[in-house]
Structure 1
Amino acid sequence: MKDRIIKVMETEGLTPAKFAEAIDAQRATISHILSGRNNASLEITVKILDRFPKLSSDWLLRGTGDMYVKGKPKEQQDLFGNTLAFPEKALVAPEPRKEIESRPPVNVTHISSPESVTVFATPEKPSRRVTKIMIFYSDNTYDTFISEKTPLPEK
């Protein structure tokens, strides 16, 4: 892709600095792409295609086909400029919504008796104690402190 970007610059008669300015990109970004340090990002590719609308995206991305699109480039559609596709439907007022008969909410009372409550006991975890502490110093020495109490029994 680097070679194709160079060809675009040569064809358009732009220096790397002018090319960066034309596509609104950092000069360093273009320099890194041209030196082979980085590949062109999607953002840079889109900026190139936006700035040069006659440039073929297939050619720029894949190197296939002609450099320029034959005929007129596709114009971007104006979101608000188009008329409605179905104007007869747009002029017809929507039918009013039918109201659904609503019923008053039913009150449900829940009475729980003490017999129905089940209490689950949580299993006890054996208590743990610190048995040994090791401290490492920057001069590659260490101290070990061992608890004088007897250790807990094994599981």
Structure 2
Amino acid sequence: MVNIDDFVKRLEIILDYYALNASSFADRIGVQRSSMSHLLSGRNKPSLDFVMKIMEVFPDVDLYWILNGKGSFPKNSEEVSESIKAPTPIAANENLATGDLFSQINFKETEKIQTRTPPEIKNQILITEESEMEKIVIFYKNGTFKAYVP
């Protein structure tokens, strides 16, 4: 659970870092000034939408740092550049000749299109109706996990 007093302190650090007052910060992230005031006074807790807007506008704010105080502010330059990279699409057939967008592509009838199975699907086990759920385990990138027993 997010400690509201600590969250407000970290939010004030962000305001100082960017030399913004509360109203200009609210305008930059697209929230009402009153909601910013209520948050800074401790009246309201931050919503997920509020935190996500901060993350969108200020990419060097670390999510774990703003929520829990773990991590660093500002992020390392490597972390910032990785967080704003666009995902690279996977081509359906990598054997295609490179050309412009309007060039004609000739396929051989005997050539089969190879499909890739994403790693998320590859590691799943199919569950039949007779199977009973024992436990749900969620693994996080930082090495921690949570286990839920129904």
Taking structure 1 as the reference length, what is the TM-score of the superposition? 0.52
Indicate whether 1:18 and 2:24 are aligned: yes
Question: Are the equivalent residues in 2 in contact too, given 1:2–1:39 (CA < 8 A)?
Answer: no
- Deviating beyond 4 angstroms after TM superposition, the runs of 4 or more aligned structure 1 residues are 91-95
Distance 1:86 1:18, change over 3 A: same
Distance 1:66 1:85, change over 3 A: farther
Following TM superposition, by how much is the alpha carbon of 1:86 offset from its aligned partner in structure 2, in angstroms? 4.5
Question: Are the equivalent residues in 2 in contact too, given 1:2–1:40 (CA < 8 A)?
Answer: no
Question: Could you tell me which amino acid in structure 1 is paired with residue 86 of structure 2?
Answer: Q
Distance 1:86 1:6, change over 3 A: farther
Q: Which residue is equivalent to 2:3?
A: none
CA–CA distance in structure 2, aligned partners of residues 10 and 82 of structure 1? 39
User: Secondary structure of 2:72's partner?
Assistant: coil
CA–CA distance in structure 2, aligned partners of residues 53 and 85 of structure 1? 32
Indicate whether 1:77 and 2:86 are aligned: yes
Taking structure 2 as the reference length, what is the TM-score of the superposition? 0.54
Indicate whether 1:88 and 2:98 are aligned: no
Q: Which residue is equivalent to 2:65?
A: 59
Indicate whether 1:9 and 2:18 are aligned: no
Question: Could you tell me which amino acid in structure 1 is paired with residue 41 of structure 2?
Answer: S
The Cα offsets for residues 59-107 of structure 1, whole Å up to 9 and x where unpaired, read as 10110121121123122425xx746274238x75787xxxxxxxxxxxx
Structure with the greater relative contact order (CA < 8 A, sep ≥ 6): 1 or 2?
Answer: 2
Corresponding residue pairs, total: 93
* Structure 2, unaligned runs of 5 or more: 1-6, 97-104, 113-150
Greater helix share, structure number: 2
* Structure 1, unaligned runs of 5 or more: 96-155
- Based on CA coordinates, which of the two structures has the bigger radius of gyration? 1
Identity across aligned pairs (percent)? Answer: 27
User: Secondary structure of 1:88's partner?
Assistant: coil
* Within-5 A mapping of 1:1-155: 1-72=7-78, 73=80, 74-77=83-86, 82=89, 84=91, 86-88=93-95
